[in-house]
Chain A
Amino acid sequence: MNSVWSRLRFVLRFFRRELVSGELNLLALAIVVAVAAVTSVAFFADRVERGLRQEATRLLAADLVLSSDKPLRERYGADISKAGFDIADTISFPSMVFSRESAQLSAIKVVSTGYPLRGNVEILQNGKVVSGRLTPQEGTVWLDERLLARLNVKVGDVVRIGNAEFRIAAQLIREPDGAVDVYNFVPRVMFHHSDLARTALVQEGSRLRYRLLIAGESRRLERLQKTLETQLQRGDKIERVEDARPEVRVALERAQRFLGLTALLAVALAAVAMALACRRYLARHYAPVATLRCLGATQNEILFLFSGQFIVLTLVAGGVGCVVAWLTQEILLLPFASLLGTQLPPAGWMPWVSGLSTGMLLLLGFAIPPLLQLRQAPTLRVLREDIQPQRAGILAYAAGATALFALMLWQAGDVKVASLVAGGFLAFIAVSAALAWVMLGIARRLTRHGSAMSWHYGIAQATRRPSLTLLQIVALSSGIMALLVLMVVRGDLLDAWQRNLPPDAPNRFVINIQQKQLDPVADAFVNQGLPVPDFAPMIRGRLLAINGKPVRPQEYRDERTQRLAEREFNLSWNDTLPKGNRLVAGTWWEPGASAQFSMERDIAERLGIKLGDELKYEIAGTEYQAPVTSIREVDWDSFRVNFFAIASPALLQDRPASYITSFHLPEDREDAVTALVQAFPNLTIIDVSAILAEVRSMVDKLVLAIQFVFGFSLLAGVLVLWAAIHTTRDERAFDAAVLRTLGASRQQLIKMHRSELIALGVAAGGLAALGASALSIGVATWLLDLPVSFNPMLFPLGIAIGVFATWAAGMPAVRHIAKVSPLAALRQFS
């Protein structure tokens, strides 16, 4: 025990000395960057998870919730309350809310007495915050702060929703299930169930979401849930605490996975820096270890000394990395603030553990294997300096690769994704190394003779150790490329997409138009001096069967198709092929043709529908069957009204339908919208540009978060560069010494190294610009179908970043080398 303690003390003393001497700086920095990158994402994930979990029980406002697009109380309410459970219900839907001068799309929640069964509603009434089981009184309404501001009204004023007028009784601060609805960025309104009829908003085609809230003793609740599961009809589903806010959870999980993999780029680069730093460290300690062995140290004692030291280093540097991550985590959460609403609880201790484990794993993969070699340093080395350490064996590379892959697996949570990412990394490295190699070859040829001496010396120096130079270029360029993609390419693509939209592309959708309103609404457009748009009938129906085979959502593999199969479709009927639609198979029906369907290509492929298939839809209890006679391709970017499924008039024209349209509202004609909804209060007008702006601002914040993580990559790339320069510092010092004896001035030495650094920076930046351009053109051509966009600014920008980075990383070392006394350097090597 005593001996272990004394050895440990020796390790710590040794560590302190090495730390002070600066031998461990680079290794420590690489660990800090790797751990900070991974841990900032871990903090983010942990807090989001905690936030969701903490909210979950309150999210439902009940213990169990039934949800459906059809009324529930009539079907289940009586049985459930007879069984002794408390029930309440809510109905949510989007609608316009009017003040005297303006109208605003809002998320309406209609609540019954008894709401909420769990958690509290919080309102601001008479300047006081009131909290509890509260519902608005009949004839009154609660508005949230955003809506009060946007409508320019205050408590006590009157607003209109549909056909009914309401007095604003309070400001709605928070309701337990407030964030369940999809319309998160739409302002919120709450009124009592008894007022719903007055508004006359429940009409054909209204998008209502009914929820039946249930609360009771937990064991009986489980039994109830089992019974209900057997009784559920299509479109009904049970919402449990754990699947509250599935869309938010999925979005956040994806974001977390993406950020995690992004962080891995930084980790991979930092690992390279670590490996280089280790190499130099061990090379410098080869002789001392041989001496230690001469003095009788066993291999294990040497291993203990150095691995103990590395472990202490990893704990210290990893801790610093965690602290950096902890300080910067808020930036990652920024884009999700609006999605998560409330303040997130602070992170727990898991990210600290995962951060330190990352550091340890990297250490195990990249530092320990070369250490195993070190302990074998032959004692003969003391006598013969020319004995060099053996080159790193397969074992060392395999250990590093395994460690990195383990990290990828951990972040991706899936072997397939991890393999894909690893493959992508490798392909990227291979291609960029090959390109860099070609660039260097050309540069060497160009500068061989006749060019300025500092250049040909610099380039020659860069080609002296090709693998090391390629490593530097690739590492730096991947960091720069990541930044370029986010800084320039993203904006370019968004702009290109927006430019590609016709200037008169529709920017408003109108839904809920009733059949009898078609002519008056058309007249209203004429009165406002706007062209009358096409109105398309919209009928909600559910796909029951394809060729007589029932459609079962769970049989589809991907989530989106499952949801499509589960959800009600918006069906339409039409005589003619709508604008922006193109037939890709079959023929369009003649006027007066028999009942048939035309399907959009993508959804047909997803659901496995082919030309000639018989589809059976259920619309409000009636079943409709017809064959598919055409497949269409739809230009979704046009912002016109489009449908997945269109029927011939023969099938559906006799059914009651609500109508939908889209139109282009000129910028200064907001008044036309106000007039339109004041005349037809049941219409819901959706401002597409506002939604786009919202999405864009969210994308911007998301990009900020990703950029931040990529920032770690750039930093790690610079570390690789720094490590490489340090690895070659001894030979550079030697070269510098020889040059000095030949009469080179300090300035000439600096110039030569500067040329080399500039060459590296230009190569890395140019390569990054090339990669970013290729990516931009690829995405534009294949993914977005936009005219190829190429931004010439990428090259100067990439090269500027590259040169700046190499400069920053290299110049301090170069200045140091240029100061070396020629004699001292010569003695060290001769």
Chain B
Amino acid sequence: MQAVDVVKHVQHAGSSLSILQGVNLTLYPGETVAIVGASGSGKSTLLGLLAGLDHPSGGQIALFGKPLGPLDEDARARLRHQFVGFVFQSFQLMPALTALENVMLPLELAGDPEAESQAKAMLERVGLSQRLDHLPKYLSGGEQQRVALARAFVASPKLLFADEPTGNLDAATGAQIISLMFQLNRAQGTTLVLVTHDSALASRCDRAFHLTGGKLVELSRE
């Protein structure tokens, strides 16, 4: 994944608001990267751009060697379900689908005939084999995030974006989720991009960046 001179402006009430001003970032296979910053600094915007959910106003982003610029939304969607996984702060499970169905979703979107057995195996790995047929609203926050993790890892993504994955959880549950995430990450050799404002969490990653004033600054390790 490579981002070069990425710029993002938002038009608002006739004036242009500059959120990102020339961000450069290169990710290497298997590494874990944290992006920290104050709220409103543009972390989520950057994440969206890196994952191809949105277009930059300027600059280039390439995923696995493919520049995103010329691709239309559907082509980017294909790229995503091939290579990219997501974990969100508020879990974002489909409320109408059971835990199992939620985990099956990325596989089904890719047309994988083994979706059900793979999803079951993944839910077992996150310790939810007893909760397969429960709807999200009957699961605790920690359980929901574990389903979200299972959903993110089930398609063996090369690149996983996690947006404040513990933001809606209490400290103890959050810690469990984080260790589960790192564990899965190591097992699958996934590249992990973690957006957080928790510097302790950031320090567990291979590299950490600080987003401030629209620029990304790598934090040096002591």
A741: B residues at CB distance < 8 A = 51, 53, 80, 86, 92
Interface size classification for chain B: 35 or more
Task: Count chain B CB atoms within 10 A of each CB in A461, A746, A748, A822 and give the residue with the most.
Answer: A822
**When chains A and B are docked, how far (Å) is the Cα of A739 from the Cα of B108?**
11
Residue of B nearest to A743 (CB): B81
Known: A739-B109, A822-B53. A461 touches B96 (CB 8 A): yes
Which residue from A456, A739, A827 sits with its C-beta under 8 Å from B101? A456
Within A438-475, the residues touching B (CB, 8 Å) are 448-450, 453, 456-457, 460-461, 463-464
- Residues of the A chain whose Cβ atoms lie less than 8 Å from the Cβ of B84: 743
**Does B219 reach chain A (CB closer than 8 Å)?**
no
CA distance A162 to B45 in the complex (A): 100
- Measured CB to CB, the closest approach of chain A to B150, in angstroms, equals 13
Per-residue CB contact flags for chain B residues 79-100 toward chain A (1 = under 8 Å, else 0) read: 1111010101110111111001
Decide yes or no whether B73 CB sits under 8 A from chain A. yes
Instruction: Check B53 against A748 for contact (C-beta < 8 Å).
Output: no
Contacts of A461 in B (CB 8 A): 96
Known: A747-B74, A826-B92. A742 touches B80 (CB 8 A): yes
B74:A746 contact, CB within 8 angstroms: yes
- B186 interface residue per 8 A CB criterion: no
Q: How many residues of A contact B (CB 8 A)?
A: 32
Please pick, from B80, B95, B109, the residue contacting A748 in the complex, using a CB distance under 8 A.
Answer: B109
Query: In the docked arrangement, what's the CA distance between A35 and B157, Å?
Result: 56
Shortest CB–CB separation between residue B152 and chain A, in angstroms? 9
Which residues of chain B in 168-183 are interfacial with respect to chain A, using CB atoms and an 8 Å cutoff? none
User: Nearest-CB distance from B116 to chain A (Å)?
Assistant: 6
CB contacts (< 8 Å) of A745 on chain B: these are 74, 77-78
Asked if residues A746 and B73 are in contact (CB atoms below 8 Å), the reply is yes
A823 touches B74 (CB 8 A): no
CB of A460 within 8 A of CB of B109, answer: no
Q: Does A633 sit at the interface, judged by CB under 8 A?
A: no
Are B74 and A735 closer than 8 Å at their CB atoms?
no
Interface check B36, CB cutoff 8 A:
no
Given contacts A464-B95, A821-B54, contact A740 B77 (CB under 8 A): yes
Interface presence of A577 (CB below 8 A): no
- Taking CB atoms, residues of chain A closer than 8 Å to B51 are 741
Residue-wise, chain A 8-52 has the 8 Å CB interface mask toward B (1 for contact) of: 000000000000000000000000000000000000000000000
The reply to whether the CB of A593 lies closer than 8 angstroms to some CB of chain B is no
Knowing A744-B81, A830-B89, say if A823 contacts B109 (CB, 8 Å): no
Q: Are A743 and B80 in contact (CB under 8 A)?
A: yes
Asked whether any CB of chain B lies closer than 8 Å to the CB of A382, the reply is: no
CB-CB under 8 A from A324, the residues of chain B are: none
Chain B residues with CB under 8 Å of A450's CB are 116
> How does the 8 Å CB contact mask read for A804-830 relative to B, with 1 for contact and 0 for none?
000000000000000001111011011
B90 touches A829 (CB 8 A): yes
Closest B residue to A735 using CB positions: B94
Expressed in whole angstroms, the Cα–Cα distance for A824 and B53 within the complex equals: 9
> Is residue B192 contacting chain A, with contact meaning CB distance below 8 A?
no
Does A830 contact B88, Cβ atoms closer than 8 Å?
yes
A461 to B105, CA, bound (A): 14
How many Å from the CB of B94 to the closest CB on chain A? 6
- Determine whether A738 belongs to the interface, using a CB cutoff of 8 Å to chain B: yes
A739 near B74 (CB under 8 angstroms)?
no
Report the minimal beta-carbon distance from A443 to chain B, rounded to whole angstroms: 13
Residues in B with CB closer than 8 Å to A821 are: 53-54
Q: Which residue of B lies closest to A740 (CB)?
A: B77
With contacts A456-B101, A823-B48 known, is A738 near B94, CB below 8 A?
yes
Give Cα A767–Cα B44 distance, bound, in whole angstroms: 47
8 Å CB interface, A183-231 against B? none
- In whole angstroms, what is the CA distance A741 to B163 when docked? 13
Asked whether, in the complex, the Cβ of B74 is within 8 Å of the Cβ of A453, the reply is no
CB distance from B12 to the nearest CB of A (A): 13
The distance in angstroms between the C-alpha atoms of A464 and B96, with both chains bound, is 5
- Within 8 Å of chain A (Cβ to Cβ): is B106? yes
Tell me which residues across on chain A come within 8 A of B78, comparing CB atoms. 743, 745
- Establish whether residues B53 and A740, one from each chain, have CB atoms under 8 Å apart when the complex forms: yes
Q: Which of B90, B115, B151 contacts A830 (CB 8 A)?
A: B90
What 1/0 mask marks residues of chain B from 136 to 158 whose CB sits below 8 Å from any chain A CB? 00000000000000010000000
CA distance A735 to B92 in the complex (A): 8
Whether a CB of chain A sits under 8 angstroms from the CB of B38 is: no
Q: Which residue of the partner chain A has the closest CB to B107? A: A453
Q: Which residues of A contact B79 (CB under 8 A)?
A: 743
Residue ID in chain A nearest B96 by CB atoms: A464
Contact A460 B110, beta carbon cutoff 8 Å: no
- Tell me if A830 and B73 are in contact (CB < 8 A): no
Residues of B within 8 A of A829 (CB): 90
State in angstroms the CA–CA spacing of A742 and B84 once bound together.
8
Contact B88 A826 (CB under 8 A): yes
Least Cβ–Cβ distance between B11 and chain A, in angstroms: 13
Q: Please measure, in the bound complex, the distance between the C-alpha atom of A457 and the C-alpha atom of B108, giving whole angstroms.
A: 10
- Please, what's the 1-or-0 string for A728-753, where 1 marks a CB less than 8 Å from any CB in chain B? 00010011001111111111100000
B89 touches A463 (CB 8 A): no
Question: By the criterion CB–CB under 8 Å, are B48 and A743 in contact?
Answer: no
Q: Which chain B residue has the least Cβ–Cβ distance from A458?
A: B96
Q: Residues of B contacting A460 with CB < 8 Å?
A: 94, 96-97, 101
CA A734 – CA B81 in complex, angstroms? 18
Complex Cα distance A286/B81, Å?
A: 37
Residue of A nearest to B75 (CB): A745
Of the residues A457, A734, A742, contact of B86 by C-beta under 8 Å: A742
Across-interface contacts of A740 in B (CB, < 8 A)? 53, 73, 77
Please give 10 more A-B residue pairs, beta carbons under 8 A apart, in addition to A743-B78, A830-B88: A453-B108, A460-B101, A731-B95, A743-B109, A744-B81, A745-B77, A745-B78, A823-B45, A826-B48, A826-B88
**9 shortest interchain CB distances as A-B pairs:** A743-B81, A464-B96, A453-B108, A823-B48, A743-B80, A823-B53, A823-B54, A460-B96, A745-B74
A-B contact pairs, 15 of them (CB 8 A): A449-B101, A453-B109, A453-B115, A456-B101, A735-B96, A739-B105, A739-B109, A741-B51, A741-B80, A743-B109, A744-B109, A823-B45, A823-B53, A827-B44, A830-B88
